[in-house]
Structure 1
Amino acid sequence: MMLKPVWIYLENGVFLEAKSFGFEGSKTGEIVFNTSMSGYQEIMSDPSYAGQFIVFTMPEIGIVGCNDDDMESKTVHASGMFVRSLNEMPSNFRSTECLPTFLQKHESMGICDIDTRYLTKMIRDSGPKMMIASTEISDPAKLKAMLTASPRIEDVNYIEKVGTTKSYLHVSSVWNADTQSYEKATNSLGKKILAVDFGIKRNILNELCATGLEVEVIPHDFSADDIMKRYKSGEISGLFLSNGPGDPLILKKEAAQITKLIEAKVPMFAICLGHQLLSIAHGHPTYKLKFGQHGGNHPVKNTKTNVVEITAQNHNYNVPESVCSIAKVTHINLFDNTIEGLEYNDAPIFSVQHHPEASPGPHESKYIFQEFANRL
């Protein structure tokens, strides 16, 4: 395919030219890097990346192609991706389309033939930056003006854009390699939970169903009173708070509803954004990390067993050390010693910052889903 030029302007004044594949036009977003060696389709379709451009440190991207089965949501939520070298021709028996076609279909930008090591080191040294990429405008002054006029990622409520608006039952379980399909959920435990969709990944729902739970997905603008009624009546056994994009501190309504559920001692389990919202709802606001944790190779220590688990990460924000006054730390990131897991003292509530459903270890952290089911 013929690659067209694309121009990139970052808020620190860096102006670059590269080649474009995928969506054509102009998009703004926050640039971050991801150190995963594989799984680019799952990463691009993860709603937690809404409003971001992802720099892949793996230099060769595209060789396994794309397919519908590996989608983590219905569409691509990331603004775009940076790759050093694009592989246009996939070589994988499960592939149904190449990466450029996939990005075009989902209106996400692809940028290649660029020094991704330079971009990664810049983000590492000075943090993520807002940026604009355009296949239409080459004038840096115009790009700067457009970027300045655009909202920053921390000012946008992305969960309103990526989550469901109606409740539904999730009916699939984990992937079966023999049948090349997802197994059907069975509800073998006879227990039902609600999963709040802040931008939930499909594989999280699959893993919850794999424990034998019945899972009903509900919108982000849930009512704590309705959930408490359903819990007290015995209709549901607990609540799951999902991952999602953006700054958790702007989700004041959601945090207020979670506070009510904490006071009612409704059993809860949370991942990533949900983990952060639990801390906020307990009165301990999150803070932004220097360059975030994004990748599939982050070592995390389980403080209960002293076992080191290799985890997948995707977060720019973190819970503060002050939360230790009301919770026990169950997991610690060995890269930077930040908190990766908590078990609260005053209620049947626990959470993790990393993504146990992403299978980076490949299965070292999946026990967390079963632990939730066992506690209900």
Structure 2
Amino acid sequence: MKSAYLYFENGLFLEAKSFGADGCCVGEVVFNTSMSGYQEIISDPSYAGQFITFSMPEIGIVGCNPQDMESRGVFAKGVLVSHYSDHFSNFRAQESLSSFLKHFNVMGICRLPIRDIVKMIRLEGAMMMVASTEISDVGELKKILHSSLRIEEINYAQDVSTKESYTHKQGVFSFECMGYPTLHTRKKIVAIDFGIKRNILNNLVESGFEVEVQPHSFRADTLIQRFKKGELHAVFLSNGPGDPKFLKSEIAEIKILVESDIPIFAICLGHQLLAIAHGYPTYKLKFGHHGGNHPVKNLCNQAVEITAQNHIYSVPENITEIADITHQNLFDGTIEGLLYHRRKIYSIQHHPESSPGPKEANSIFGEFARMIE
């Protein structure tokens, strides 16, 4: 393994080993608490522009395979791990994590004091960092870091979004196995791709929707005309990377949608964009929610759902002036779900499709289908 050199925004300098792509990258460093599913996490477009610090000490032992991809590629800057195993043992695996990262030109760095890095992020917050297999001089790394754009200054949605519209037809499994009847709404939903995950699309299909995916540069007027003609019945706003307030043109189009009668369903970044479009700006959390063990209380039925999360921005509390809170994070009390007043607009902050084990949060897709039925 080559040596790798890391310089953090707070002045911390570390030397480690590289098992991914060579080069020099700048990004925001966050940590993820999930114990499994590293390929799904790495291929989530919401991590564009970020280094993912895995708190799980052993990474790489199940390898990688094409079926577990959540998008067409990998948009994260890199992964930071404690111990990397190049020997994988899984009947589904087709390549090592090292080979996988090199294929997508993504850095992989191991032999790091992960516990200390996670503690640092918890205390000081998510921060920018630079990693290099080519430059070891601290002064040079510091210069590169401070001359680079910050993650909140880059529109990563335009990089991860599809360039052309397409139809998604693949489902997941029948909701009947979870006690929910499979819905055959025969309704068409247009999913706006800000960095959408494939399993979200699978769940929309499973709920009975005909799903058409459009780029982030969609035109609201066109969708409204199609809605009036009965050619579509709802719009879905997807998850995605970066600071939602930076997506000004996308927010302008969402405002037009909100003023129409189109039912809207949104997850993660889409949830945040909806709040901004209503005039309620988001704020950045200290280190965000990234992991598969976050308890969320469903205020509609008082049930506690264990959820997967991947976000660092949250909607403000005063949004209750125009919406009812349907879900709340039990770690810090932040808003996880909203049902807007006088409109068929429903949004969720967490990822109901990213099963952390329990699958109760998946019912959200069926609930929206029933809402527009």
From 129, 151, 161, the equivalent of 1:153 is 151
Q: Which 5+ residue runs of structure 1 have no aligned equivalent?
A: 177-185
**Pairwise mapping of residues 137-152 of structure 1 onto structure 2 (< 5 A)?**
137-152=135-150
Looking at structure 2, the residues matched to 16 and 195 of structure 1 have their Cα atoms a distance apart, in angstroms, of: 42
| TM-aligned CA deviation for residue 175 of structure 1 | 6.1
> Which of 266, 272, 276 is residue 272 of structure 2 equivalent to?
276
Instruction: Choose which of 153, 164, 189 in structure 1 pairs with 2:162.
Output: 164
Match of 2:126 in 1: 128
Which residue of structure 1 lines up, in the alignment, with residue 238 of structure 2? 242
RMSD after superposition: 1.2
Match of 2:301 in 1: 305
Q: Which residue of 2 aligns with 1:179?
A: none
Q: Which residue of 2 aligns with 1:362?
A: 358
Contact 1:59 1:85 in 2 (8 A): yes
Contact 1:169/1:215 (<8 A) preserved: yes
Alignment of 1:203-242 (within 5 A): 203-242=199-238
- The range that moved more, 353-362 or 32-41, is 353-362
What's the CA shift for 1:11?
A: 1.1
Q: Indicate the residue corresponding to 2:4 in structure 1.
A: 6
Match of 2:83 in 1: 85
How far is 1:265 from its partner?
A: 2.1
- Check whether the contact 1:187–1:209 (CA below 8 A) recurs between aligned residues: no
Paired position in structure 1 for 2:261: 265
Shift of 1:361: 3.7
- Residue of structure 2 equivalent to 1:344: 340
What is the aligned-residue identity percentage?
60
CA distance in 2, matches of 1:147, 1:187: 50
Alpha-carbon deviation of 1:187? 9.6
Separation in structure 2 between the aligned mates of residue 99 and residue 257 of structure 1, nearest angstrom: 39
Q: Which runs of 5+ in 2 are unaligned?
A: 175-181
> In 2, are the aligned partners of 1:66 and 1:95 still within 8 Å (CA)?
yes
Q: Once superposed, which parts of structure 1, at least 4 consecutive aligned residues long, lie more than 4 Å away?
A: none
The letter of the residue matching 1:226 is T
Which position in structure 2 is the counterpart of 1:180? none
Secondary structure, counterpart of 2:118 in structure 1: helix
Q: Give the letter for the 2:82 counterpart.
A: R
TM-score by length of 2: 0.96
Task: Give CA-to-partner distance per residue, 1:153-212, whole Å, 9 cap, x none.
Answer: 000000010001110001211169xxxxxxxxx994321110000000000000100112
For residues 338-360 of structure 1, what are the alpha-carbon distances to aligned partners after superposition, in whole Å with 9 as ceiling and x for unaligned? 00000000210010000000011
2:185 is paired with a residue of what secondary structure?
coil
Which stretch of structure 1 is more off in the superposition, 188-197 or 298-307? 188-197
Asked whether 1:44 is paired with 2:45, we answer: no
Instruction: Return the alpha-carbon distance in structure 2 between the equivalents of residues 94 and 27 of structure 1.
Output: 31
Residue 319 of structure 1 deviates from its aligned partner by 0.1
Q: Does residue 1:332 correspond to 2:332, yes or no?
A: no
| Cα distance in 1 between the residues matched to 2:60 and 2:190 | 36
Q: SS where residue 357 of structure 1 aligns?
A: coil
Task: Tell me if structure 2 keeps the 8 A contact 1:187–1:214.
Answer: no
Asked whether the 8 Å contact 1:230–1:236 carries over to 2, the reply is yes
Does the residue aligned with 1:365 lie in a helix, a strand or coil? helix
Q: Specify the SS of the correspondent of 1:304.
A: coil
Q: Take 2:212 and 2:14, find their aligned partners in 1: how far apart are those partners? A: 46
Which residue in the other structure is 1:315 paired with? 311
Q: 1:373 aligns with which of 345, 364, 369?
A: 369
Q: Distance in 2 between matches of 1:175 and 1:165?
A: 28
> How far apart are residue 254 of structure 1 and its match?
1.0
The structure 1 residue matched to 2:116, chosen from 111, 115, 118, is 118
Query: Is the 1:195–1:218 contact (alpha carbons within 8 Å) kept by the matching residues of 2?
Result: yes
Please say if residues 241 and 270 of structure 1, whose CA atoms lie closer than 8 Å, have aligned partners that are also in contact: yes
Rounded Cα–Cα distance in structure 2 between residues aligned with 1:187 and 1:294:
31
